[in-house]
Chains A and B, each alone.
Chain A
Amino acid sequence: MRALVVVPVLVPLATAVACLALGPWRAAQRAASVAGALAHLAVGGALLARVDGTGIQVMQMGAWPAPFGISLVADLLAAIMVLLTGIIGVAVAVYSLGSIDAARERHGYHPLFHVLLMGVSMAFLTGDLFNLYVAFEVMLMASFVLLALGGERAQLEGAVKYVTLNLLSSAVFLAAVGVLYGVAGTLNMADLALAVQRGTAPGLVTTLACLFLVAFGIKAAVFPLFFWLPASYHTPPVAVSAIFAGLLTKVGVYALLRAFTLVFTAETGFTHSVILVVAALTMATGVLGAVAQYEVRRLLAFHSVSQVGYMLLGLGLFTPLGLAGSVLFLVHHGLVKSSLFLIGGAARQLGGSYDVRRLGGLWRSHPGLALLFLLQAFSLAGIPPLSGFWAKLVLVKAALDEQEWVVTGVALAVSLLTLFSMVKIWSETYWKDAPPDAPAGPTRLPALVVAPIAALVLLTLALGLGAGPVFDLASRAAAQLADPSQYIRAVLGEEARP
């Protein structure tokens, strides 16, 4: 059953093809989309169970031995991320049924959605840098169209900025891949790791590491490269925003985690210190941008930037505990941020606006939705015993162990500001009375909107209340990242030596 590694890529591809073929029959297309997302989730779960049970899974495409062919590799981090993709994929696929208009569905919303999931899964599973570039492009192409689909003025303006900066990032990534091949003669990440351990052109490799930091940094939206994100994430329908905020920036963070634990580990004193500084600045600038916003999607988009800083904090510390914190934070943030976007969309269906100042009174009219929001908002801010608290606790503990006082202080202060802006949404949207000119919205939300939100909130609660086993899993994933020899042996065979 080696082939299990490639199935998370094939399922969304097959689903996209099926959705395309079922184009004229709307109901069938919608059913196929949800069925495909469920299958993807099931495969993700099976893959994680197998990797956790029997170790790193490797598949050599076309049975060409590594490093000559393309390797697909599922270690614990990759399997966790694929499962996260499956969870958010199902939630957003169901939510889309209740919120995406018929015109967008007619113009290929569902096939594009699954092509996006395919690109994301491939990026998580590939063991080859050039294949990672291809996965990025698949993902980007789908995200470009999803962002612009509908052709509203705001969408097109956001898309111009998003497309420009992501293409710039791809050009930098491609150039770095090319030069790295010229230097090391291979693009298989395990083989590259060996080449770097052998001491191939150390100065040039560190320079290339910085190029990769810029390329992946743009995708992950880190300071000072994040400006495309708050300019575009709030323009498409909220289901698209949710999948972008829940998954796409995570791919950039994942690529950084992978590259800077496996390949670029020769000069950690320099590269990882840069990452640590970038992480602190990202946390601070993102949350300060969020504090000034009243448009709920824009506020959440700025928060995504801020939270990316936390994910990089663990990588910058580069200790097993720090990496475990980063893994935990990736999962926590994927669930919380996508559900917060979906809740924002539900509030708009009720109150008719994304601007929190024009909403109000939802606590009285829809206490259930208000409760769901409150749980996720507290989790994002890090109130115990919710998931955000544990993720932040692990990261802060790791930072204190390394005596990084400044970063610790920034992380704690940013938590406070996160709580402040979440309270702002709460008091404006839910607590204050509805403004007198507010339009009378529907009294009940459709089940297709409420069910995915409730499922994501329950999962977040489980993540917080079951923090012990989840932390153990994250620690095992971090142990694999901290000791790349397991990954290298799994890909290249037992006798692989530098």
Chain B
Amino acid sequence: MTTLLAVVIGVLYAAGLYLVMRRSVVKLVLGLALLGHAANLLIFTVGRLSRAAAPIVPAGAERLVPPHADPVPQALVLTAIVIGFGVQAFALVLVKRAHRETGTDDLDALRSTDS
């Protein structure tokens, strides 16, 4: 499972970086979204995957008995997903406004401020 996720993360990073480097603004936003997903899955995987091992103290026991999952990476991922959602929503609106104002989705055409 870890190997599979590692491959998925790698593909997501590659696709995300490829899209970010395209000239189209829409692909840029999609690329940023993929990069966010890649980072989230990376946290999830690096936090060690386990199956059927909820971090709950069993009845009658004093403490958690291994193996148990670590809940912290899942809390981190959840937070990051929410933040990523907000930021990507803003990026979409920004790109829409920029397109309406400049009439192009070519990043190379956005250089009226460069001189």
Contact = CB atoms under 8 A, between A and B. Distances in A.
Contact of B46 (A154, A159, A170, A182): A182
Contact of A168 (B32, B42, B47, B76): B32
Interface string A222-237: 0000000001101100
B23 interface: no
Contacts of A231: 113-114
B113 A157 contact: yes
A158 B98 CA distance: 10
A141 B91 CA distance: 10
Contacts, number: 105
B25 A160 contact: yes
Interface in B35-92: 35-36, 38-40, 42-44, 46-48, 72-73, 76, 79-80, 83, 86-87, 90-91
Interface residues of A, number: 36
Interface in A140-179: 140-141, 144-145, 148, 151, 153-154, 156-161, 163-164, 167-168, 170-171, 174-175, 177-179
Majority SS at the chain B contact face = helix
Contacts of A178: 39, 42-44, 46-47, 73, 76
A164 B31 CA distance: 10
B79 A134 contact: yes
B7 interface: no
B8 interface: no
B95 interface: yes
B39 A175 contact: yes
A130 interface: yes
Contact of A160 (B35, B72, B110): B110
Contacts of B47: 178, 181-182
A179 B97 contact: no
A148 B96 CA distance: 12
A235 B36 CA distance: 27
Nearest to B46: A182
Contacts of B44: 178
Contact of A163 (B46, B94, B111): B94
Contacts of A170: 87
Contacts of B113: 154, 157-158, 231-232, 234-235
A174 B83 CA distance: 11
Contacts of A137: 83, 87
A181 B46 CA distance: 8
Contacts of B101: 151, 153, 156
A181 B43 contact: yes
A230 to B, nearest CB: 9
B48 A182 contact: yes
Nearest to B29: A164
Contact of A157 (B35, B86, B102): B102
Interface string A176-208: 011101110000000000000000000000000
Nearest to B86: A141
Contacts of B46: 178-179, 181-183
Given A151-B97, A182-B48, A171 B102 contact: no
Contact of B94 (A156, A175, A182, A234): A156
Interface in A78-137: 130, 133-134, 137
B42 A179 contact: yes
Given A164-B28, A178-B73, A231-B113, A159 B42 contact: no
30 contacts: A130-B76, A130-B79, A140-B87, A144-B90, A144-B94, A151-B97, A153-B102, A153-B112, A154-B112, A156-B94, A156-B97, A156-B98, A157-B98, A160-B95, A160-B110, A164-B32, A167-B87, A170-B87, A174-B80, A175-B38, A175-B42, A175-B43, A178-B39, A178-B44, A179-B42, A181-B47, A182-B43, A182-B46, A182-B47, A182-B48
Interface of A: 130, 133-134, 137, 140-141, 144-145, 148, 151, 153-154, 156-161, 163-164, 167-168, 170-171, 174-175, 177-179, 181-183, 231-232, 234-235
